[in-house]
Structure formats: C-alpha cells, structure tokens
Amino acid sequence: MQKPKIVVFTGAGVSAESGIATFRDSNGLWHNHKIEDVASPQGWARNPQLVLDFYNQRRRDVESAQPNAAHKAIAKLERAFDVCVVTQNIDDLHERGGSSHVVHLHGEIIKARSCVDEADIYSIGYADIKLGDTSTTGHQLRPYIVWFGEAVPLYEEAEDIIAQADKILVIGTSLCVFPAAYLLQSARAEAEKVLVGPAMEQVPRGYQYIADTAVGAVPLLVAQWLGK
C-alpha cells in the first residue's frame, strides 16, 4: 500500500532552537552585517572576501549545532508516511536529524558552487571557502546559497511536491520570504494542513494553527499522527 504523502515546510524557527540565529531577529542585520553586503550578488561583487568570511563562520556555527527534538520528530514521520521536507534553511540539521528527503530552497551551507555556473556544485562539508578556491573549470567558488535577487532553482520541484501532499505541516516560518511563501498556494484544498509557530499575525485559510515553538509542538503532533 502506498504511504500517504506529507510535506513538512520549514523556516528559521525550527533551527533557532538549535542555536542558529536568523537575520530577521535584529532589524535587518545578520550577525551585525547588512543583508545586502553578505546575501546579494552586489555584495559579492563589492567584497567577496567579506562574503566568504561570513559564510565560513556560519558553516562553523552549523557544524557545532545539533538537531533538536523537532528535527528528530519530523524524521520519525518516515515510519508511516512518504515524507519530503521542503526547507528555507541552509543548514543540514534536517539530514542530521534523520530525514532522508530534503529540498533546500535557498541552498546549502555545506556546498559551494562556481560563481559563473549555478549548476556547478561541490560538497565541501564544513571546510572554509577561500579566495583562489576554484571550480573544475577554473572559476572562483562561492557559497551555494540563493541570495536576494537570485532565482530559486528548486522552486518548481517543490511546487510539484506540495501539490501532491495529503498532509502539510508548516513550521517556524513567517511566510514573508518570497517566492518561497507562494509555494503553499500549490496545496490541494482537501489536504490536511497544520501551521506551528508562535505569535503568527495571519494564518492562511484552511490551516489548523498551533501557537507554540517547534520543539514544544512538533514531537506531540508527530506522535499523534503516528497513532501513539
């Protein structure tokens, strides 16, 4: 028998409880840097060393962080469901928490790409990227991150996955980052939909809202869905 399909759509809130800060916590500054300086093609063109230093530190932060109870609970859903995690996060905590199918909309901190060819991608683990590190075609490597103003290459894949879901669980996202926030419009009307997050100003129509943190709500919800 085919397993029901679940899409878990996650944002920064699921990783914040593992100690990974978000730029939306501090008036548009991300670790005391202006977003446009470290997360845009223009910032890269002005000062690539600054950008590399910034993401090298973020990579160290991710390496030292650990999956929390929400990450681990999401992975447990695979016991009974066909699960895909669609995440706006660039960390690897979902994978380390046990999830086997993760779509990273905004890139992955543990990968690098050619600054010329967005499809020329390399797994680097938690190593630094330095000026002079090049792709096999001789182009400088940059973080494999989708910066502001760049296209989201996995958008259509994620859209198709969400359109097929029987259940949708949204965790830790303000639904304010576009175009990713539009993805939920692809969901079928009859799909069961749950949104977990503290102090949401507006809840999309058709969603059950749980006003709690990821760690506070997700393990309990997963246990309920698994019938325990």
175 pLDDT more than 70: yes
pLDDT over threshold 70, residue 177: no
State how beta strands 208-210 and 192-196 pair.
Answer: parallel
- The C-alpha angle with vertex 111 and arms to 18 and 142, in degrees rounded to 5, equals 115
Q: Which residue blocks in 124-192 are alpha helix, DSSP H?
A: 155-163
Going along the chain from its start, the domains and CATH numbers come out as: 1-19+67-106+152-228 (3.40.50.1220), 21-64+109-145 (3.30.1600.10)
Beta strands in 115-163 (DSSP E): 121-123, 141-145
Q: Give the mean pLDDT of the chain.
A: 93
Containing 90, the helix (H) or strand (E) segment is: none
pLDDT score of 183: 92
> 């990821």: which residue's tokens?
214
* Residue 40 pLDDT > 60: yes
Q: What is residue 15's predicted lDDT score, i.e. its pLDDT?
A: 96
Report d(CA 220, CA 226) in Å as an integer.
Answer: 10
Could you report the per-residue pLDDT of 99-123, keeping only the tens digit for each? 999 999 999 999 999 999 999 999 9
Neighbours of 47 (CB within 10 A): 14
Query: Residue 50's pLDDT band (boundaries 50, 70, 90)?
Result: very high
Which residues contact residue 184 at a Cβ distance below 8 angstroms, ignoring those fewer than 6 apart?
Answer: 9, 162, 168, 170, 175, 204
Would you please indicate which residues are annotated as catalytic (active-site) residues?
Answer: 106
